[in-house]
Structure formats: structure tokens, C-alpha cells
């Protein structure tokens, strides 16, 4: 029987915890119905402070992570808070016990933004990982030593597992069920929860949400020029030519603040505009290409597919408001 530890963090997302419990409890129920023993023993783990204020959660007795036996795998749910530095500080007491569990043989899996806590432990340094696609820029800036695969739904690097946003959690859960219980059980669970087993990318769910939470007037000016004139400018040089600074300084400060270069920012602004036109209008593809700032249809389709993970026509078919 595998020992599953679910970490009850501060600012945990209830939906994330519920999904984890539902899948593993369903596996156990399937086993009981077949006359077999449970595959998993589930533990709810937390820090001393939380354990001092409540004794159980979700029908399980709380256990202090630092005092818990070594788990087969510890699972870290998504966070509700968008303020990751604050959230990581609130959960700092979990880091040393997590590292100890890993060093003694436990696997660790994270769901959505739960990857930030694993990133803060240092265990992901030099390893591949994913997180919610819209949190990927912040994750990359916070943990540059991690090999972030922002488009991936699930990653595994040795004994470390991560998943992307929201429903990607179910793909990691299926992955773990298959690893621990075999493919037959994974297929059964996929059918119970109506999960497409073959989805391995999440990039088409992303929304470009550039950071405005900074006080750099030069960068803010460059952002404004790009967002206001992305349809008309042929090059980034045209957009930033009136900003009173050298191109080198603008690029350096822009990337430091936003995590991407001005050229990448222009490209993502255009692609986001194209996505909205594909979703919300009936414009012909040639109109969409022109209205999002591109003149070359071949170049547009190449950039769109690389950024979004599917062709413009496929995106429209999937997301257009009818």
C-alpha cells in the first residue's frame, strides 16, 4: 500500500485538495469493489502551527509534516494567492521537512502554482518542471535554475512531478495512478472523471497578462507604445525610437522588469490580439492576420503555432464564441 501525503499548506486551493482526494479515494473504492486491498493510505500533512489549531481536515487526522513517517509521495496543492513571495514565506516551515522527505526517498508532486513551494526548496534546480501557464513567467524569474517547460501539462524528472494549471492536475493524478497501479486502473479512472488521457500541452490556455506592477517609467512607456501601436509598427525599433534611452538600456531594463524582451512582448501582444479576434469575431483569416499586426501569413501561422501550440484554425474551432 502506497503512503500518500497531501500537504495542507497555507493559502491552499480547495479545488486542488478535493481533486487529489477524489481520485485516490476513487482508486481505493474501485479496489474494494473488486475484492482487493486499498492501493493508497492517505495522510493529511501540515505544519505545527496549523496542527495546533485543528485536529482534522477532510475527514482525516492531521499529521505534522516534520514528525510524519517517510511517504511514498507528498503532493503539494495549488495556491489561492497571487502574491507568491508572501505565500512562500507563510509556508517556509514546510521546506526543511519536504527536503528531508525527498532525501530519504519520498517522491514529491505539485499541482499548478504549488510548484513555487517546490521551487523554493531548491530540489527543482537543474530539473524540468511546469506550473500554471499564466504563472510561468513569474516562476521563471523566481527560479532561473529550473528548466521550466511552460507548455507542458505534466513533467516528471526522477522523483519530482509537476503539473500545469487547473484540469492539468487530473493528468498528473492519472500519471501517478498509472505508475502506482497500472494502466488498467488509469484508464478506469480516466473514464470515471472524463479525462482526455493524451493531452500533453497547455499553452493554448494561456493569456498574455503583462506585468504593470512596477515603477519603471521607461519600461511602462515602452509597454504603452507596444500595446497601442502593435498593429502598425513593422519593427520594435519604430516603437521605441522616441524613448529617451539607448536601445541596449531599454532592452536590459525591459527584460529585467517583464521577464521578456521588447520584441517578444510585441510578438505576444500581437498573438493575444489574434486569439481574441479568432474567439470573438467572424473575420476572415487574412483580416485577422492584418489586424493583429502581421503582413506575412506564413510567418503569422508559424509564430502562432509555436506560441499557442495549435494552428489559428484549430484555435478558432476550439474557442470561438458561437
The pLDDT of residue 42 is 97
Classify residue 233 by burial, with Cβ atoms within 10 Å: 0-12, 13-18, 19+: middle
The pLDDT of residue 242 is 82
The pLDDT of residue 241 is 82
Give the total residue count for the chain. Answer: 322
The pLDDT of residue 275 is 93
The pLDDT of residue 250 is 87
CA count, 13 A, side-chain hemisphere, 251: 8
* Domain locations along the chain: 2-204, 217-319
Please give the radius of gyration of the chain, using alpha carbons only, rounded to the nearest integer: 22
Per-residue model confidence as pLDDT tens for the chain (322 residues):
999 999 999 999 999 999 999 999 999 999 999 899 999 999 999 999 888 888 889 999 999 999 999 999 999 999 998 899 999 999 999 999 999 999 999 999 999 999 999 999 999 999 999 999 889 889 999 999 999 998 888 999 999 999 998 788 999 999 999 999 998 999 999 999 988 766 666 655 567 777 777 888 889 999 998 998 888 877 788 888 888 888 888 889 888 888 889 999 999 999 999 999 999 999 999 999 999 999 899 999 999 998 888 899 998 988 787 6
The pLDDT of residue 205 is 57
Yes or no: domain 2-204 corresponds to CATH 3.20.20.30 = no
Classify residue 77 by burial, with Cβ atoms within 10 Å: 0-12, 13-18, 19+: buried
Residues 192 and 170 sit within 8 Å (Cβ to Cβ):
no
DSSP string across 270-308: HHHHHHHHHHH----HHHHHHHTT-S-HHHHHHHHHHHH
Give the span between the Cα atoms of 203 and 108, in whole angstroms: 24
pTM for the model:
0.70
The CA–CA distances, whole Å, from 192 to 20, 58, 174, 210 equal 14, 21, 11, 38
Fold of 217-319: Arc Repressor Mutant, subunit A (1.10.10)
Sign of the C-alpha dihedral computed for residues 233, 236, 240 and 242 taken in this order: negative
Give the span between the Cα atoms of 224 and 284, in whole angstroms: 28
Of 213, 240, 211, nearest to 225 by C-alpha is 240
Name residues whose C-beta falls within 8 Å of residue 302's C-beta, 6 or more positions apart in sequence. Answer: none
Amino acid at each position: 500500500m502506497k503512503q500518500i501525503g497531501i500537504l495542507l499548506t497555507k493559502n491552499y486551493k480547495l479545488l486542488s485538495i478535493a481533486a487529489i482526494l477524489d481520485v485516490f479515494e476513487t482508486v481505493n473504492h474501485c479496489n474494494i469493489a473488486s475484492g482487493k486491498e486499498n492501493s493508497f493510505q492517505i495522510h493529511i500533512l501540515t505544519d505545527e502551527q496549523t496542527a495546533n489549531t485543528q485536529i482534522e481536515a477532510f475527514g482525516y487526522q492531521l499529521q505534522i509534516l516534520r514528525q510524519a513517517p517517510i511517504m511514498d509521495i507528498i503532493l503539494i496543492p495549488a495556491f489561492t494567492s497571487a502574491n507568491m513571495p508572501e505565500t512562500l514565506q507563510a509556508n517556509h516551515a514546510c521546506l526543511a521537512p519536504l527536503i528531508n522527505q525527498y532525501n530519504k526517498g519520498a517522491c514529491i508532486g505539485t499541482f499548478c502554482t504549488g510548484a513555487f513551494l517546490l521551487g523554493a526548496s531548491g530540489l527543482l534546480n537543474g530539473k524540468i518542471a511546469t506550473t500554471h501557464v499564466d504563472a510561468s513567467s513569474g516562476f521563471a524569474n523566481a527560479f532561473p535554475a529550473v528548466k521550466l517547460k511552460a507548455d507542458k501539462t505534466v513533467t516528471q524528472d526522477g522523483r519530482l512531478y509537476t503539473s500545469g494549471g487547473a484540469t492539468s492536475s487530473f493528468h498528473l493524478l492519472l500519471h501517478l495512478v498509472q505508475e502506482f497501479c497500472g494502466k488498467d486502473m488509469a484508464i478506469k479512472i480516466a473514464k470515471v472523471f472524463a479525462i482526455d488521457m493524451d493531452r500533453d500541452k497547455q499553452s493554448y490556455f494561456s493569456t498574455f497578462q503583462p506585468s504593470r506592477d512596477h515603477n519603471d517609467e521607461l519600461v511602462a512607456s515602452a509597454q504603452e507604445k507596444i500595446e497601442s501601436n502593435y498593429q502598425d509598427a513593422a519593427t520594435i525599433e519604430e516603437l521605441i525610437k522616441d524613448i529617451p534611452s539607448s536601445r541596449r538600456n531599454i532592452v536590459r531594463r525591459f527584460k529585467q522588469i517583464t521577464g521578456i524582451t521588447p520584441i517578444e512582448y510585441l510578438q505576444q501582444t500581437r498573438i493575444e490580439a489574434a486569439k481574441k479576434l479568432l474567439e470573438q469575431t467572424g473575420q476572415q483569416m487574412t483580416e485577422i492576420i492584418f489586424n493583429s499586426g502581421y503582413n506575412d501569413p506564413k510567418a503569422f501561422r508559424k509564430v502562432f503555432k509555436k506560441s499557442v501550440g495549435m494552428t489559428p484554425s484549430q484555435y478558432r474551432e476550439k474557442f470561438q464564441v458561437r
